[in-house]
Homo-oligomer: A and B are copies of this chain.
């Protein structure tokens, strides 16, 4: 089944201890779409300025990503982020952030998008996420991401959103912030009690945790020695997870766990190069081969 994602499309300038890249393709909706496209057709909603080059659009289309929902703002500039990773490659500092056209992004989904059954509200203003959620009353599964900024600045809207989505994906520090719990197991259950049927806590290089009424589990990250650029890992994780769920067309516990594993594996490829470079040359066969290794790693 097809999958809609609403989120950012961006230019990223990235510095790591070993190398740097200027104004490469990024954004939550882009990483998500590309990751999900290995499993299912994806409908992307986002906004760019007229500085956004056609070859990036062509790349998305080649990956079977529908860009009918990608708005072009004439005279506007695309969202821009500049960040620098610390030596541990987990912590990073934002050196510059320009919302540009993203500041006034008010997505109006095309009709074809509104009939989709799987919806992912990638990181963005909670108010905007709520408006999009309202445009898709008939979805089978709505999952949202959020971040510290919205947890602090839009707490009431976030509470409302949590009652209107089936799942929430957030990282470990965000889960602690939102729940007030330092223990991640307690934090996950506390967030789940706010509304969603399931909560996924992303732990970066340490994998991901899943919480539902019936289950609590952790899956480790795939141990890749090749970490070049962690940007987009979290969005790729969500894309792999949601893409697999949409492909399977169900959210049974078994499918959810497989989806979590696929999310982890797609993210493990994303970090192996800058921007979308690794995903651009990734094949579904490579994902499935890594899945075999991953399952073997967890068997004893």
Contacts and interface: CB of A to CB of B under 8 A. Distances in A.
Interface in A219-239: 219-221, 223-225, 227
A89 B183 contact: yes
A186 B228 CA distance: 13
A203 interface: yes
Interface residues of A, number: 34
A228 to B, nearest CB: 10
B220 A207 contact: yes
A66 interface: no
A219 B220 contact: yes
Interface string A74-87: 00000000000001
Q: Please give the count of copies of this chain that the complex contains.
A: 2
A218 B223 contact: yes
Nearest to A222: B218
A221 B223 CA distance: 15
A89 to B, nearest CB: 6
A261 interface: yes
A271 to B, nearest CB: 10
A217 interface: yes
B219 A254 contact: no
Contacts of A205: 184
A206 interface: yes
Interface in A235-286: 254, 257-258, 261
A233 to B, nearest CB: 14
Contacts of A17: 182
Interface string A190-222: 000000000000010111010000001111110
A88 interface: yes
Given A218-B221, A219-B220, A227 B300 contact: no
A218 B297 contact: yes
Contacts of A133: none
Given A207-B220, A220-B207, A220-B220, A225 B300 contact: no
A225 B298 contact: no
A206 B209 contact: no
A128 interface: no
Contact of A218 (B182, B216, B220, B227): B220
Contacts of A183: 89, 225, 227
Of the listed residues A203, A217, A261, the one surrounded by the most CB atoms of chain B closer than 10 A to its CB is A217
Contacts of A218: 207, 220-221, 223, 297
CB-based closest 4 A-B pairs: A185-B225, A206-B206, A218-B220, A257-B300
22 contacts: A17-B182, A87-B182, A88-B182, A89-B182, A89-B183, A183-B227, A184-B205, A185-B223, A185-B224, A189-B225, A203-B206, A206-B206, A206-B207, A206-B220, A217-B223, A218-B220, A218-B221, A218-B297, A219-B220, A257-B300, A298-B298, A298-B299
